[in-house]
Structure 1
Amino acid sequence: MASMQEGHEDSQSSSPLPEDAVFEILTRASLESLPACRRVCRQWRRLTYDPLFTSLHCNRTQTISGYFLQTLRRNRYYSSFVSIQPLPPSVRPLSLDFLPKDVKIEAVGCRGIVLCTAQEYRGIPRYYVCKPATRQWRWIPNPKTRYLTERIAILAGSTGALEYKIVRFSRPKQKLDHLRCEIFDSQSQAWRRSRDVQLPPGSLRHEAAVSVHGALHWLTYGHGVFAFDVHKESWKLILLPEEVGGDEMRWDCRRLVKCEGQLCLVLVEKEWVEIWVMGDYKEQRWEKRKVVSLEAIREEKLALSIKDIYLPDVAFMDSFFRVIWYDFWRGVLAKVDIDHPFAQEVFKFESDLVSME
């Protein structure tokens, strides 16, 4: 699973080829090889995060890029896929209708791997791992389901075979100041217990984990970020920027996201968006990257919620019966109507068409 480790090359060297030629070559790189391309040099990394790159890359490599939205209605979870990129001709509209039961999406990993659960007899969940782009699935053994799941995430290898690990934190009945940690490895097809985490239940925000640098990250209800290193099976708390308000800022105004391979904190307050980037992950140093006005989308603002940073200058938002890709500098990029008022959970999804086998 060493291929899961993410990092960035500091080299400033550029290719002897003209930049336009490099761009054309990179738009034909597979989704599997893209992380390695981004580590070659800063020029390649910058080109692969250009707004024009995603559209061309999806078209030329049959890559799928978008979001799964999930809502709970009448005690049943519903999911739908939205994108501003056309699907490859060989792929039918994405859904989870190929699974044997109605499921809840629990987590999404890179290359289109999705972890789901379905409620079985007496409320005991059944765990599934699937790939919607290829409509393949398999069930996996249950962890210790007598403990309620606090948070769960899946971390898939970005290169090579589609291997993955699932990390689950649950609430032990005896230790009220600890979380139990279990890890599932696709190679062994078994769960094993790791060290407990000294964090009280209810400390982690109920949002999808952000995976960067081989670690899973969740905002806490304190002034920090919980980071779990999947390879070392260790954890730490990362403080938020000192300039970021504490109790005076509502929790729903903060969101942790991944942008350009870096950990980012998004703050939304009235008329503006503020984006902080952890430019130096080892030193845990935050940098304020930009402040953007929301005045241009005043008509959407009454029910506006930023869910993700889709591209460096494009936010993904949801509004009343609508999702929006908003270009900070050029205005609204796209609007897509949805069949429910708001998305209760949002999962960023990128997939190739490589088989799970």
Structure 2
Amino acid sequence: MGIFPDEVILQILARLPVKSLFKTKTVCKLWYRLVSDKYFVKLYNDVSAKNPMVLIETSVPFESKSSLICVDSLRGVSEVSLGFLKDRVKVRASCNGFLCCSSIPDKGVYYVCNPMTRVSKLLPRSRERPITRFYPDGEATLVGLAYDISRNKFNVVLAGYHRTFGHRPDGTFTCLIFDSDSNKWRKFVSHRDDQFNHMNKNQVVFVNGALHWLTGSCSYILALDLDYDVWRKISLPDEVSYGTGNRVYLLDSSGCLSLIQISDAWMKIWVMEDYEKELWHMVDGVSLRCIRGLAPGIFPIAQTGECIFLATHKQVLVYHRKSRVWKEMYSVKNSATLPLWFSAHAFRSTIFPSD
């Protein structure tokens, strides 16, 4: 006879880190059965979705291993290794607990992995040579990962301006899409004149079956519908203004598209209420008075209805929306040259039932 009912035990286990959760399988047959059940897997993933984390990529020059610092508002700071990939990689995109990583020494090699469970897949190479694929340096302008948890399938998107070896770019925008169900790449070509800066390329959001990027001019959102291979432009809220001290960022908010505008004094948050009609609703306005010295350099990374993670040059902050309290979660101790937001990614823990 157990001290707690099974449902209480499940609620407790659903709040453990993945590593600790796997260890509980060895406690007894009951716990092994509970943790392996599909109901628990869904419960764990639902609880995890309400607890956003930030992964900060750290790498040491001339070393083959890449590490991630995991900043968790509930469990603090821990280190996650990508050494199981046996390659020196760079994180290019994050979605629903999975990462898309590209090999640094071997262009055109990509992995999709779950750093918590250490499950990974090496993607097959596309038929096109990397050096002839994209302009200007052979690497995709946009890299996106769309992981559909409900179907346990994913797509990786590589998009950029095409050029043939020895020729100037011809103005075509090439899109390569990997489908995990078919284990193959597909390709389509369009004509686009969109521009993206470094941070716009990094912030890609997967909602409503599409990947979304904010353009470099912050004048609209570019969305790729993965079911029909169609690009779509989405308008920003009418009240959003860019420039003259205002900065705009794109995030996920509990499965909805969200836009955050930051000025020296305020942070305003919009969420898209109706995706088809492109109807936005401003859900919060946050005074930045108490972090005035940091406001010009903060960058939102992840959010839920309860909190927002933001990175500065050397810190990760969390803002609790109900209590309106700011808290420092992580600070770089060494003399890092790049701001933290260059290598910060939204994250969450995700598990799947055992086959």
Q: TM-score range by the shorter chain?
A: 0.7 to 0.9
Q: Which residue of 1 aligns with 2:104?
A: 119
Q: Which residue of 2 aligns with 1:317?
A: 310
2:344 to 336, 343, 346: 346
Shift of 1:197: 3.1
Cα contact 1:181–1:193 (8 A) shared by 2? yes
Q: Which residue of 2 aligns with 1:80?
A: 69
TM-score (norm. length: structure 1): 0.73
Distance 1:203 1:323, change over 3 A: closer
1:257-276 correspondence to structure 2 within 5 Å:
257-276=251-270
Q: Which residue of 2 aligns with 1:220?
A: 215
Q: Which residue of 2 aligns with 1:102?
A: 88
State the one-letter code of the partner of 1:254: V
Distance 1:113 1:326, change over 3 A: same
State the one-letter code of the partner of 1:67: V
Quick one: distance in 1 between partners of 2:72 and 2:89? 21
Shift of 1:127: 1.4
Quick one: distance in 2 between partners of 1:64 and 1:236? 30
Distance 1:175 1:263, change over 3 A: same
Quick one: distance in 1 between partners of 2:93 and 2:83? 17
Shift of 1:347: 1.6
State the one-letter code of the partner of 1:186: S
Cα contact 1:81–1:95 (8 A) shared by 2? no
Distance 1:262 1:224, change over 3 A: same
TM-score (norm. length: structure 2): 0.73
Quick one: distance in 1 between partners of 2:232 and 2:249? 19
1:236-315 correspondence to structure 2 within 5 Å:
236-248=232-244, 250=246, 253-298=247-292, 301=294, 304-315=297-308
State the one-letter code of the partner of 2:115: P
Q: Deviations over 1:119-153 (max 9, x none)?
A: 335xx232112111111223111233232311011
Distance 1:244 1:64, change over 3 A: closer
Q: Does 1:133 align with 2:144?
A: no
Distance 1:302 1:258, change over 3 A: closer
Cα contact 1:255–1:267 (8 A) shared by 2? yes
Cα contact 2:80–2:116 (8 A) shared by 1? yes
Cα contact 1:117–1:128 (8 A) shared by 2? yes
Task: Tell me how many residue pairs correspond in the alignment.
Answer: 299
Quick one: distance in 1 between partners of 2:295 and 2:304? 24
- SS of the equivalent of 1:232 reads coil
Shift of 1:79: 3.7
Cα contact 1:71–1:344 (8 A) shared by 2? no
Quick one: distance in 2 between partners of 1:175 and 1:320? 35
Distance 1:336 1:249, change over 3 A: closer
Instruction: Decide which moves more: 266-275 or 66-75.
Output: 66-75
2:173 to 172, 179, 182: 179
Distance 1:353 1:313, change over 3 A: closer
Quick one: distance in 1 between partners of 2:313 and 2:299? 13
Cα contact 2:44–2:350 (8 A) shared by 1? no
State the one-letter code of the partner of 1:239: S
Q: CA RMSD in A?
A: 3.3
Cα contact 2:143–2:159 (8 A) shared by 1? yes
2:145 to 148, 154, 169: 154
State the one-letter code of the partner of 1:127: Y
Cα contact 1:303–1:320 (8 A) shared by 2? no
Distance 1:66 1:176, change over 3 A: same
State the one-letter code of the partner of 1:305: I
Quick one: distance in 1 between partners of 2:211 and 2:146? 8
Shift of 1:218: 0.5
Shift of 1:263: 0.9
Distance 1:102 1:218, change over 3 A: same
Quick one: distance in 2 between partners of 1:335 and 1:278? 29
